[in-house]
A and B are shown apart, each in its own frame.
Chain A
Amino acid sequence: MNRWAERLWSLLFLMVPVAGVGVFIWAMADGYGMRGHWLPENIDEQGKVIDSLFLFILGLTGVIFVGTGVALFWFLWRYGAAGNRDARVRYTHGSHTLEVVWSILPAATLLFIAIYQMDAWADAKIRRPTIVVNGQEQPKPPIAEITGRQFEWRIRYAGRDGVIGTRDDLFTVNELHLPVHEEIVLVIKTEDVLHSFFLPNLRVKQDVVPGMKQYVWFKPIRTGQYDIVCAELCGWGHYKMRGRLVLQTREEFDRWFEQEWNNQELRSYTPPEPEE
């Protein structure tokens, strides 16, 4: 290869980190053609913790990505055969120090991330919100039960008595209304296959496994309409397994609930035994 071809190729390789970083910045800036490709609007009180973890890991991998890309470019640019015809070659049989360093650094980094994220994980998956009943702290009961099935989300509100499976339950399909500024607990399960209950704007995603019950919790801080999505392939209709999340003030929510409840036809309905 002549000197010019070498230069051209090294610049081409330099384009990898440049374009890579560029695409991310373009997406973050909501640039033309990339609209809506960056993180969806966060409306959860804890969502920023998840987002900052994501950004932290993105930054870390980004630095390594750019570093290796630029190093590759520099070696191509500086040490190509055409420009170094008379240079003497240096042979190496490897360096134990280097190998130890580049083994320990990534291991330590991974360990750091594993420890650093523990609190966020516990908040999202382990420390369910509690309430105090008769001086005793206990897990907050779910406001509704969500049952995934091919290809819809069936929703069953606990109703005024706060217990799911009683006569004052309210049933809806694919439409989940919730009050804002409150700790929401949902119990989710599936009737058939694996699904994944995904609320992108609340940074909540939980697989629902046949035969198991899972709990998710979050605290929305903004009213409006958002998506409910299925995030696990569940058959041919997976693509259309969507629902609508409507976040309202407490008063609006109560009014909606009352209205739906009054519209619900229950005369011929006998509720099954309460499950909990």
Chain B
Amino acid sequence: MRQERGLHELYTGDPERADRVVFGRNAGPDRRGFLKGAGLAALGAAIGAAIPFGRYMPAGYLPVALAQDKKLVFPGKDGGLVLLGDRPLVAETPAHLLDDRVTPTAKHFIRNNGQTPEPVANADGWEIAIDGEVNTPLKLKVGELRTRFPVVSQPMVLECGGNGRTQFQPPARGNPWTMGGVGCATWTGVRLADVLRAAGPKPGAIYTAHFGADLHLSGDADKQPISRGVRLAKAMDPNTLIAFAMNGEPLPNIHGGPVRLIVPGWTGSASQKWLNKVTLRDKEHDGPGMTGTAYRVPVAPIFPGANHDGKGFRILESMPLRSIVTAPADGARLAAGTRDITVRGHAWAGDLTVRAVDVSVDFGQTWVRADLTVPANPFAWQHFAARLRLPAAGYYEVWARGTDSEGRTQPFAAPNWNPQGYGGNAYHRVAILVEA
């Protein structure tokens, strides 16, 4: 373990020097170094296997096999989740635990911004208010929501706005999500649109503001940990829900129960947990998480690492295209003689859909088009699978690259650097080893 940490430090500081020191390879003018001789042997020794496609590994690239993490311990949650922060509680799901088509509650990521509230005994008695630019302000109990409005139930992607943040270099500020700040659970609830219509939005209403019952980390009851909102059109989307159940069970406290918003395909922070109020506004919302560089990305790219106050940035609304390999697992050891593997995973693209997923086992030299399903319903993720050939024993990385319905593909490195690291949607990479 000590050695891994040393390597890690070296790579964070100066990746090209690390390559020279550790593996003896020089970056070419095109920034691709070639592993050979002693370097290839050294990297092979660190991983514990030969690397059949080693000559194609980009310079300054720390093989995914050398990562490290810590586990979550929480009742009802899978012990394989990785703890990113204990106060506020934040945990992500390693990709191989996201293999299910519908994410079980135990495996769904957690992102809290404030202190976690005490669980509520009588969920049906929980009250939410609809106010602001409406003709009839409403106060509704959860029990009434169920009886007054049609109930909808469907799997939809919920994803933290910062998913993929660790891809940014220089490091962006915030929770260090890899690719596991995402899940596709079945959400049950009523349409926010139906409830807003019951209140009657005034003609001037253009934006929502969401409020929850969690306490700010400082304990100040007058401060909200987070309060975001969306354009009215997104609030009126028939798939935007006030959800009271997750995978057929009452919504657990840790996931925002008794009720939360589900604003599918958009930054998770819009899906307010412990929801107690939605206010319609005649202008963009300005609560915590709406201003500065929070949940905002540059319109015109800025220099990576530059200081910026976020003026002129746009609000990150729809999440970008992403794909993850859920099998084989990162770090899987395959039996000697294995030459064919099935790779599978999911792909999603915020408000858009995914047109294609390609996978590679030779560091992107060649790609194989995967079979891809259509979404089960709007905002459900799509599943892909492909058979791949491994020519020899040794170390491989499975790379996945999606293309969205507008023809955009995932990039090799995180695009559009921004201070808080939103939109990192580089290829997902998984390390596997075929035993000699």
Does chain A bind chain B?
no
Q: Which residues of A contact B (CB under 8 A)?
A: none
Q: Which residues of B contact A (CB under 8 A)?
A: none
